[in-house]
Structure 1
């Protein structure tokens, strides 16, 4: 990062040098040719050349003085009157030096003050405008970078908080499953604990990444579904199809699990022919994910205080991470609660 910063500053310095070189190479703009023709004396021409170098140097100093001092300390602080006084004072100083030079050095010529004023004003106004525009553009770009950095930090913080909501909520449900199996002294407790261990490994070592392979996310879903299937047995018909043929696809970790959790939370219990259908597949860089579960529309029971956190959470994460690159439909039709997600993976 430090090396990139030094390189950026070096590039900026080179650009400024090139810009000034081009600016000062315009003799018809800065050094009127008729004035050289008028000075046939070598000494006068020598003085004239020195004076022009002095003017060039003055323009450079004025450019950065206005950009780095006057604008930040006066304009941005609403000290407009002081700013105008400084600018007018510098213009009068430049004009008087130009006029005084011509009166002292070019004694044999009659000095017309109007061209002196016009020429000095034109150059002065050009440099003033360029300096002001330069500094305002630089400040705007700096502000945009700072705003973008703050937004990125805010986004990372918010996503971290959202993930921290997912993990305890998920673990609460899974541990309840383990307690139920332990009470029943079930033979599937040991394989269930092994699956839980793999889930913990995923949550601890994979979920902190910005993106994970879609295959790993699918394996995570399958392990969770297997644990739930062991818990409910034949009481719930669970139909699962997770197709992840392309290994290059990546996805935000733990993005899909809230939909599955929601299905098991509200699609089980006092429901006739409880059924949960889960399908995931990819086509043409698009992920298609759907979860359907039967629900009891006559029941107003709230199963626990964390109900609703999952879907609210995942909607917020989708908005933060994918913007307009996803389509989410949540619908209730007859006795079915249906979630359908389409996600652009590139």
Structure 2
């Protein structure tokens, strides 16, 4: 906002400088008193313009129309006085004073009264537009922060219980489980505060999550995770896939066969395709049907805020298999746009 105000100040200075030069060129041929004549004319223009300009600033948003019009009338009636007083012939006779006064009142005063109003309205329009955009951005950031904070806390409690069991049994996998939980919590609390993160880091987070969930199962890994493409050069909004992973575990049967939950991530031509499928248990339902469910609605809201017109979310429910396919286009350009916005702000 301060930068925009400085731009408007610079515009005022440049325009008034050009106007002064133009008036000087026009009046420089009018004898030896052209300097004082120019000064009187410019002072009249400045007085009318900025008096109305700041009058509108004082009464912006107020309903005191009577006070405004009384002060405006005073400005318009006193506007010609600098030109009359500084004109070489302005005070020689009453007739001269009256003629110069009326000439200025009819010509210069209405023009610069209108220009003062136009400048004030233009600046207000620009400032209000910027404020509206800033408020919208703040609302979006607040909504995104709220959505990211809705990670299912039951996962943390279950994981701690599982680690407690491992420690109690003095299992060799207990230290690794603690390290993975530490990495996962560090990512959720600190690293996910950025607008975007490398996709490789998001995938590491998902792998830590899968490893900790695997503590619940005695069989081989129940998740088959396949990644294709350069994940290091691709950036994505953090914590975007975690709810889909939670849903896959939540709505799968109690006994899941090894590799039954299939997850694939493919990066091709600036397009990310994330696909996850899981078998549906007897008591399973979709997150949309679950009271208080935050899975798919959360993902939909975040995608709408982060990638409007850049994503496609497809959900297939055959009754036996639940499949979610998410495509996000133009990821690299999206990163550049966000960097530009951060520089602008």
Scaled by the length of structure 1, what TM-score is found? 0.78
- The partner residue of 1:192 within 168, 177, 193 is 177
**d(CA) in 2 for partners of 1:222, 1:183:** 25
- The partner residue of 1:16 within 8, 12, 15 is 12
Closer, same or farther: CA 315–182 of 1 in aligned 2, 3 Å: farther
Higher mean alpha-carbon deviation, 274-283 vs 229-238, is at 229-238
Higher mean alpha-carbon deviation, 145-154 vs 127-136, is at 145-154
Task: Indicate the residue corresponding to 1:261 in structure 2.
Answer: 246
Closer, same or farther: CA 172–317 of 1 in aligned 2, 3 Å: farther
Task: Indicate the residue corresponding to 1:146 in structure 2.
Answer: 131
- How many residue pairs end up in the alignment? 327
Superposed CA offset, 1:66-85 (max 9, x none): 112x1123353133333333
Preserved CA contact (<8 Å) 1:74 1:82: no
Preserved CA contact (<8 Å) 2:48 2:79: no
Higher mean alpha-carbon deviation, 281-290 vs 76-85, is at 76-85
- The partner residue of 1:159 within 144, 147, 152 is 144
Higher mean alpha-carbon deviation, 174-183 vs 311-320, is at 174-183
Preserved CA contact (<8 Å) 1:236 1:276: no
Task: Indicate the residue corresponding to 2:157 in structure 1.
Answer: 172
**d(CA) in 2 for partners of 1:96, 1:203:** 69
Task: Indicate the residue corresponding to 1:105 in structure 2.
Answer: 92
Superposed CA offset, 1:285-335 (max 9, x none): 111001111103665699xx9872232222222222222222212231241
Closer, same or farther: CA 120–299 of 1 in aligned 2, 3 Å: closer
Task: Indicate the residue corresponding to 2:61 in structure 1.
Answer: 76
Does residue 282 (structure 1) correspond to residue 278 (structure 2)? The answer is no
**d(CA) in 2 for partners of 1:30, 1:125:** 21
TM-superposed CA distance for 1:337, in Å, is 1.0
Task: Indicate the residue corresponding to 1:39 in structure 2.
Answer: none
Closer, same or farther: CA 226–185 of 1 in aligned 2, 3 Å: same
Preserved CA contact (<8 Å) 1:267 1:274: no
- RMSD value, Cα: 3.8
Long gaps (5+) in structure 1 = 37-41
Preserved CA contact (<8 Å) 1:24 1:30: no
Closer, same or farther: CA 212–128 of 1 in aligned 2, 3 Å: same
Does residue 229 (structure 1) correspond to residue 214 (structure 2)? The answer is yes
**d(CA) in 2 for partners of 1:75, 1:165:** 42
Preserved CA contact (<8 Å) 1:166 1:310: no
TM-superposed CA distance for 1:112, in Å, is 12
Does residue 50 (structure 1) correspond to residue 36 (structure 2)? The answer is yes
Closer, same or farther: CA 272–128 of 1 in aligned 2, 3 Å: same
